[in-house]
């Protein structure tokens, strides 16, 4: 039960959940939650790899890895709990969005929402400890960092949304920011998959922003056909899911395949030394035994070190998924009259 609950607030869940929110007509909410989780993922994983505090030692703690995802997560450091941090930020913002949409929301309604959010957050924290993934300190720290990041986001979210929807040179700015964030990441004491998760949502954020800029050029209206209204029936929405989910998954696969062929070719043409830990078999031997931290491989005062081409492949893979969710799939909906 705890394993399933924790999967609800995992990064793979939000990768599929956020496009569904966008297709339901709540485009601003989808934009904000996507950028927020990218922000939280970067801050949370950076703190993990800076502190490099291990998870509870097993044994004596019994670690319950019910899924392959949990086994991979167990390779990360423990402090703070990303699940608790993301739960506070994303469910907190989700609640804030709908409460502010209803000006007639009473104090009792707000209190009930806060109680439910607090209960679910505590349940997630207990689950992470029960599964042997975190200590009490990790969980409390995750909740505290989540509250601080949510408070920060609520002060800037309108400015961020205004910039990505009405600003100038937004795509070029975000491309530069995404490139910078791939380098400005701490090197952990030992290799962990944290940087991979950051790269994935870094790509998702860039695909979202670039896609929004492209749709604005075609003057797509905001918040059209909202779910549970006369404009968008449940039957039509289910049709969107049947079309949209497979489409973005196919786009993700195609983006990865194109990046696997294109990036090594470009790097070799530009004489950029590269290596691969998993995506390009012929380059795997070059990366054997080397640290996985981005700065460890990119910055140094000795001989030039190879760049991990997997970072670029993963970035483009998830950027393609996000771009298709906000550009290609809505165009397909229009064509199919969904």
**Of the residues 26, 83, 157, 198, which is catalytic?**
83
Strand (E) or helix (H) holding 308: strand 307-308
Burial of 73 from C-beta contacts in 10 A (0-12 / 13-18 / 19+): buried
CA 103 to mean position of chain CA atoms: 30
- Which single residue is written with the structure tokens 């502190």? 51
26 is catalytic: no
Residue 21 CA: distances (Å) to CA of 17, 30, 316: 6, 6, 22
Strand (E) or helix (H) holding 307: strand 307-308
3-state secondary structure 22-91: HHCCCHHHHHHHHHHHHHHHHHHHHHHHHHCCCCCCCCCCCCCCCCHHHHHHCCCCCCCCHHHHHHHHHH
- Contact present, 194 and 48 (Cβ < 8 Å): yes
Pick the closest to residue 85 from 51, 50, 124, 126 (CA basis). 124
83 is catalytic: yes
**Of the residues 26, 96, 134, 218, which is catalytic?**
134
What residues are labeled active site?
Answer: 83, 134
């Amino acid at each position: 039960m705890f394993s399933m609950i924790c999967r609800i607030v995992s990064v793979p869940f939000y990768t599929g959940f956020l496009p569904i929110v966008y297709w339901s007509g709540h485009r601003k909410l989808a934009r904000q939650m996507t950028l927020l989780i990218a922000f939280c993922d970067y801050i949370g994983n950076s703190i993990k790899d800076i502190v490099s505090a291990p998870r509870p030692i097993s044994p004596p703690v019994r670690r319950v890895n019910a899924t392959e995802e949990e086994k991979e997560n167990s390779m990360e450091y423990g402090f703070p709990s990303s699940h608790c941090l993301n739960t506070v930020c994303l469910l907190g913002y989700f609640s804030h969005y709908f409460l502010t949409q209803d000006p007639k929301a009473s104090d009792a309604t707000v209190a009930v929402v806060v109680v439910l959010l607090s209960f679910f957050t505590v349940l997630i924290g207990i689950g992470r400890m029960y599964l042997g993934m975190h200590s009490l300190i990790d969980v409390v720290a995750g909740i505290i960092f989540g509250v601080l990041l949510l408070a920060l986001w609520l002060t800037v979210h309108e400015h961020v949304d205004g910039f990505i929807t009405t600003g100038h040179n937004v795509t070029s700015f975000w491309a530069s920011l995404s490139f910078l964030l791939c380098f400005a990441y701490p090197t952990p004491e030992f290799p962990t998959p944290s940087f991979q998760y950051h790269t994935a949502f870094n790509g998702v954020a860039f695909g979202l922003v670039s896609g929004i800029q492209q749709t604005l050029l075609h003057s797509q209206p905001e918040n059209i056909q909202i779910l549970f209204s006369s404009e968008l029936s449940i039957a039509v929405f289910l049709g969107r899911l049947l079309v949209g989910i497979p489409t973005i998954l196919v786009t993700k696969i195609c983006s990865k395949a194109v990046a696997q062929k294109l990036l090594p070719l470009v790097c070799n043409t530009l004489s950029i030394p590269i290596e691969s830990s998993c995506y390009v078999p012929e380059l795997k031997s070059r990366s054997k035994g080397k640290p996985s931290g981005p700065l460890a491989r990119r910055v140094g005062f000795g001989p030039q070190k190879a760049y991990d081409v997997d970072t670029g492949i993963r970035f483009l893979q998830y950027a393609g998924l996000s771009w298709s969710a906000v550009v290609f799939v809505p165009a397909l909906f229009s064509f199919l009259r969904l």
